[in-house]
Amino acid sequence: MKQTPLWPVLDDYGLHKIPLRFYALLLLLLRPYICWVMVLTLPQTQRDMLRWFYPMQHDFIVACLLASPLLLLLAALSQRKPKGQPGWRHVWRFGRPILFAIAAADLVLSITQLPPQVMLDAPWRIVTPVLLLISVFWLWRSRTLTLVFAEWPDATPPAKAG
């Protein structure tokens, strides 16, 4: 008989587990960089695919600049382990406000860049603002993220119960 885990669910280091929605939000907010890497891996003849997502070069540059603080948060996430660099703790503590500000700014930017007849011409472009709106509400209301960003691992991992 499988026993359900007690809440809160902790990871191997005794910290609150990062929700999978957090990683999905990172993917959503880092989409300019993901598109950039994807385009760089294509042959030269298909490099204009970036124009599907960002019709104007200025839009792509603004989206990359807007998402650039997330690269620091991603680096801090990679150091969230007992043998990680403790200096990243300060970046990690401000992770939730950083995420919220970037998601809100990206939402505003995405809405202002929609074409006037988006529902007739390209209804698939409305998906990103809807996902960003849901993400902003989740960031605002999530108690789990408050706990996740308040924690940083100690130098020694906790002993495992055997």
Residue 90 reports pLDDT greater than 90: no
- Selected residue with higher pLDDT from 122 and 41: 41
Please state which of the ranges 20-29, 81-90, 119-128, 145-154 shows the lowest mean pLDDT.
Answer: 119-128
Provide the pLDDT for residue 102. 96
Residue 153 reports pLDDT greater than 60: yes
Q: How confident is the model at residue 11 (pLDDT cuts 50, 70, 90)?
A: confident
Provide the pLDDT for residue 158. 54
Q: CB of 100 within 8 A of CB of 136?
A: yes
Tell me: cis bond preceding 55? Omega within 30 of 0 counts: no
Provide the pLDDT for residue 160. 58
The token pair that represents 61 in the structure block: 């540059």
Which residue(s) pair with 10 in the sheet? 16
Over residues 74-97, the mean pLDDT reads: 87
Listed by start position, the domains of the chain span 20-150
Q: CB of 67 within 8 A of CB of 29?
A: yes
Q: How confident is the model at residue 6 (pLDDT cuts 50, 70, 90)?
A: low
Over residues 97-120, the mean pLDDT reads: 87
pTM exceeding 0.85: no
Q: CB of 80 within 8 A of CB of 153?
A: yes
